[in-house]
A and B are shown apart, each in its own frame.
Chain A
């Protein structure tokens, strides 16, 4: 019974964390299950994928109702993400994982520094029932705004989408990295939408939450088909994840953007460290 409750508590933390940051919580669940409970890595990844979907499903409804998640933009980026995941899955065995992990970790450090250098909006949390998207003053540069065509159709009443081709390319990369390294695409998609495409951070995390479930569902289906999911471990984790993600989605408007930004920077650096370890560590796979 104690183990069941510990797994549920871990799921709660990962769900809350994932829903707030648009990451899905896989960066916490995989180490927790593999290192903390000795679960084989493949089974840990399988449970993590289900947890990502649960986080996405439990939080995205709230973000959609509030108008924070951009459904149209999320779907557009998702086409490239799913295709990227397919390509990543196909080339996964032909590439040196250590090289990919090293390159990825360098990119994460660069993204973390870019996010850390950004000016932050005043940390005044809006009332829960207020409009949800809090524009960041640093992402509304008029010089780069695309106002016509597809980008305009994907924009939101509170912000404009810019650099759509770059956003699409990076979404494809997010899918590839997700398949190659077993990390959620949100770790790339949130910075892409926020830094490159001009979405406020809240809108980027909410839109990422909406789409990461779709990305994870294809992989999760395969894990189920291959009997690589332990239902007795997955169940308590999922219960905790549902509860944590639901609570975090309701709490999200009260969390200042500056706090979200700095937590995200720390997570990026943590994942970069994990990737460096994977690249140079004794367990690295050639």
Chain B
């Protein structure tokens, strides 16, 4: 019963013309995130005309083309900057920005921290699979230390960016992390993020079984899904853990939840001030 109604939801939000099958490998987690986004938008009863989905480059960058919103596939790393311009001239629009970890944190790292600092009302969703999937499994800013990737054949010697913690520190008003295994939880976080006034980030931990998984012999998509399940703990659980136990854990939960003033709303006050002649002429 539930399954039938879900497929009706998907049919309502996916584009019917021309663009299927999708580009993702069978078993990829990106489709799970897309499904969660669609169900969150449906639950919130948003008008499709008022929703924009903007992406950069990479596997996750291909997400917008499939959904029946106002959609834009931009340049590598710059999706948040494009979205900033759109949000400023269309403040009522729900602007959802989907990015991969390389897109959001490497080439787009500067835009990521500044969009969070500015607290502009965008919903940023990072599908974090710890690698560049589309180009074949090179290391990204979230690749774990020590593992092999297509560009670290002797082992990876850089530290990981903790995406959620970074966004929370940079000033985002809502930050949460979940995984593609905990899909109902992910959906709930997405609902909260999309309805936020200020900058909201949801990090969705995923995997790439066809690149990093293959290189490191981590098994199939379902094997890697199971690894995510086993490695993940909640914020409440991690507090009771020893430093050794915390190693290599995926911590799920809400990392920031605060009502800081949203940028476009503040800018409306600037317009008021300017029109009352308060600028320093």
Asked if A and B are interacting partners, one says: no
Interface residues of B (CB under 8 A from A): none
